[in-house]
Copies of this chain bind each other. A is one copy, B any other.
């Protein structure tokens, strides 16, 4: 049994499906791991392991039995409500660590989960290490390019997200004409863009000025192997509905889910998509 099989711990969204399809295409052995409470409509045709949070002993045994030595976490998951009557011996042995870890912030919880898998001998790999082309590359990917006002707004939004990151909050902000129109809280990017769509129009004072930029990037404390921010076609549609000029994301630090669809959506809506590099590359000396 090959221990280089990949276990895809599947959450919401298109990412786990894209990885599973990629594994199938490239004939890499894989299993889709579904925890109770996660509903996915793309499972038929894929090899699946059904698991529950309370029984990590069964999970590890299933993974070993399927030859999966590699684990990747793909797509958002909701924090589970645990039923203590179902705990297995493995869970009870790790209980103090698990229970305090689940009460911590998102970053700390995910780091704990990764460490538990590693202690069991599994290797953690990021989705973008398995599926090529997932990370946004430096430079403008869309037909439309950001103008000078958009670049100023992007710099400002980057500075704001960086400041927010120091408090372990949010991964994105909207800035138009120098004014901050939106900051991401726990409700996420879509909710913030809806807020901007409903309330932001009155604050673009200069009709000739920038229409605003959504900037998104990882927080400083994030474990890039298990949790990177992502954008998809829906992000782009909502940014367009909020009247923005485009989207800038930290180059190499944000996943673009469904690249073709994203680019087509951006070009159709007249938005730019920009892999932003906060520090300009230093010039090489001859």
* A interface residues, Cβ below 8 angstroms from B: 79, 105, 159-160, 162-164, 166-167, 169-170, 174, 178-187, 191, 195, 199-200, 203, 205
Q: Is the CB of B163 within 8 A of A167?
A: yes
Q: How many copies does the complex hold?
A: 2
Distance in angstroms between the alpha carbons of A137 and B166 in the assembled complex: 29
Q: Which of B105, B180, B191 contacts A185 (CB 8 A)?
A: B180
Distance in angstroms between the alpha carbons of A199 and B182 in the assembled complex: 15
Q: Which of B179, B181, B186 contacts A203 (CB 8 A)?
A: B186
Distance in angstroms between the alpha carbons of A166 and B167 in the assembled complex: 11
What residues on B are CB-neighbors of A178 within 8 Å?
Answer: 105
What residues on B are CB-neighbors of A79 within 8 Å?
Answer: 205
Whole-angstrom distance between the Cβ of A110 and the nearest chain B Cβ: 15
Q: Is the CB of A183 within 8 A of B185?
A: yes
Given that A163-B167, A167-B159, A167-B160 are contacting pairs, would A200 and B187 also be in contact in the complex, using a CB cutoff of 8 Å? yes
What residues on B are CB-neighbors of A179 within 8 Å?
Answer: 186
Whole-angstrom distance between the Cβ of A211 and the nearest chain B Cβ: 15
What residues on B are CB-neighbors of A203 within 8 Å?
Answer: 186-187
What residues on B are CB-neighbors of A167 within 8 Å?
Answer: 159-160, 162-164
A-B contact pairs, 12 of them (CB 8 A): A159-B167, A160-B169, A162-B167, A163-B163, A163-B169, A164-B164, A169-B183, A170-B183, A179-B186, A181-B185, A181-B186, A187-B200
Given that A181-B187, A185-B181, A205-B79 are contacting pairs, would A166 and B169 also be in contact in the complex, using a CB cutoff of 8 Å? no
Q: Which of B162, B163, B170, B195 contacts A195 (CB 8 A)?
A: B195
What residues on B are CB-neighbors of A159 within 8 Å?
Answer: 167
What residues on B are CB-neighbors of A160 within 8 Å?
Answer: 164, 167, 169
